């Protein structure tokens, strides 16, 4: 029988990112002790600043593409890792900045290879459950018939495309996870996350919704990277976090599980809703598509509904209101923390990076 502790020690890699910060907040609310690893290459300390005074939370600036030992950090002594170990690991580590994608291709490669190995080795050491955040991109481009994507679909990805370090990298990371499960009996969960939006998304990175709202509030042009036909699925961040939590808590081997919205949302329609909700008179202009912002398919949510009892609950109008209210309340802070000059980290001779690609 495994030992029972009053509080779980949970490690979240990429925990200072958009999704990671919401996950850390949820885990603390559920009564866990949370160790947040991030290097801030595509994240921001502002996302977790309100958590830093919580004695059950600790932030470590760390590179997962290099080996790391949590027992060597003196700031983690109160977690008693040598005695208790780590019970759960959520791996959310990977760059997610569409406009800086070309500059972080090597870091993306490391996160999906060296990084996932180091995280899995840590899970194996402590016999921890591990949830890996994969992506809808493993399915490849949107199907021509727009059918909903089941987890059983093999998908098709061009391994030589400009974005293959992410797409093929996520597929490889799933293979590594599955191999550790088969060979070592490790309890591994895989979440295939579709596009997510909500408070704390990065500004001016090509992630659409936060930029739309900020420009609408300022009366500036709203840029859509695509044409009038561009549509996508969008799931509110708290719904996705709830799905991750339920998946980690699930018994048995479920294989990969889709988490996202199965509703196709025309981007132009979302922009028009934002204009109405903010009373803005901003113009809408169309720009050439970004390499990383391509039309992706929509998820079949049958497995999530039947096995996890999960489905997205936040309607688009509620979600947009939430992020609009957040942006209005934190606009000055968001602008002050935005740094357009962020560059990709320099590589080391060993093939690692001094700063890891955590999101």
DSSP conformation letters of 72-86: G-GGGGGGTHHHH--
Return the pLDDT at 328: 86
From 86, 93, 40, select the one nearest 65 (Cα to Cα). Answer: 93
Longest dimension (CA), the chain: 63
Q: Which amino acids are annotated catalytic?
A: 166
φ and ψ at residue 134, rounded to 5 degrees: -90, -160
Residues 6+ apart with CB under 8 A from 3: 84
| Average pLDDT along the chain, 359 residues, taken 10 residues at a time | 80 96 98 96 91 97 92 96 97 80 85 96 98 96 93 91 88 97 98 95 76 93 89 95 98 97 95 96 89 79 98 97 89 59 37 32
Return the pLDDT at 2: 58
* Residue boundaries of the structural domains of the chain: 9-196+237-260+299-313
End-to-end CA distance of the chain: 35
Q: Residue 243 in contact with residue 310, Cβ under 8 Å?
A: yes
Burial 47-69 (b: 16+ CB within 10 A, else e): bbeebeeeebbbbbebbbbbebe
Task: Retrieve residue 183's tokens.
Answer: 């060979």
Return the pLDDT at 274: 97
Return the pLDDT at 225: 83
CATH number belonging to the domain at 9-196+237-260+299-313, selected among 2.40.10.220, 3.40.50.720, 3.10.310.10, 1.10.1060.10: 3.40.50.720
Q: Residue 113 in contact with residue 169, Cβ under 8 Å?
A: yes
φ and ψ at residue 89, rounded to 5 degrees: -130, 125
Return the pLDDT at 252: 92
pTM of the model: 0.90
* 44 SS3 class: coil
Return the pLDDT at 352: 35
């Amino acid at each position: 029988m495994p030992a029972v502790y009053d509080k779980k020690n949970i490690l979240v890699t990429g925990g200072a990112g958009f999704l990671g910060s919401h996950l850390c907040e949820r885990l603390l609310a559920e009564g866990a002790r949370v160790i947040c690893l991030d290097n801030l290459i595509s994240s921001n300390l502002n996302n977790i600043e309100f958590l830093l005074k919580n004695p059950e939370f600790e932030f470590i600036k760390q590179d997962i593409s290099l080996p790391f030992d949590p027992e060597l950090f003196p700031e983690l002594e109160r977690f008693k890792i040598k005695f208790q170990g780590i019970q759960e690991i959520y791996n959310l580590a990977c760059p997610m900045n569409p406009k800086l994608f070309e500059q972080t291709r090597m870091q993306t490669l490391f996160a999906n290879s060296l990084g996932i190995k180091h995280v899995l080795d840590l899970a194996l050491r402590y016999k921890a459950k591990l949830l890996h955040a994969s992506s809808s991109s493993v399915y490849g481009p949107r199907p021509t018939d727009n059918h909903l994507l089941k987890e059983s679909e093999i998908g098709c990805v061009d391994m030589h495309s400009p974005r293959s370090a992410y797409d093929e990298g996520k597929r490889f990371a799933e293979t590594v996870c599955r191999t550790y499960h088969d060979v070592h009996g490790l309890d591994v969960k895989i979440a295939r996350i579709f596009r997510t939006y909500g408070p704390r998304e990065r500004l001016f990175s090509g992630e659409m919704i936060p930029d739309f709202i900020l420009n609408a509030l300022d009366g500036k042009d709203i840029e859509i990277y695509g044409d009038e036909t561009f549509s996508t699925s969008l799931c509110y961040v708290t719904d996705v976090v709830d799905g991750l939590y339920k998946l980690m808590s699930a018994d048995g081997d479920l294989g990969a599980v889709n988490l996202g919205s199965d509703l196709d949302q025309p981007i132009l329609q979302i922009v028009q809703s934002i204009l109405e909700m903010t009373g803005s008179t901003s113009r809408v202009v169309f720009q050439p598509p970004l390499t990383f912002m391509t039309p992706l398919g929509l998820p079949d949510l049958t497995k999530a509904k039947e096995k996890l009892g999960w489905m997205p609950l936040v309607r688009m109008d509620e979600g947009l209101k939430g992020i609009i209210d957040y942006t209005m309340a934190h606009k000055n802070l968001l602008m002050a923390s935005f740094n357009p000059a962020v560059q990709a980290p320099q590589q080391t001779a060993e093939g690692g990076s001094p700063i890891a690609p955590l999101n």
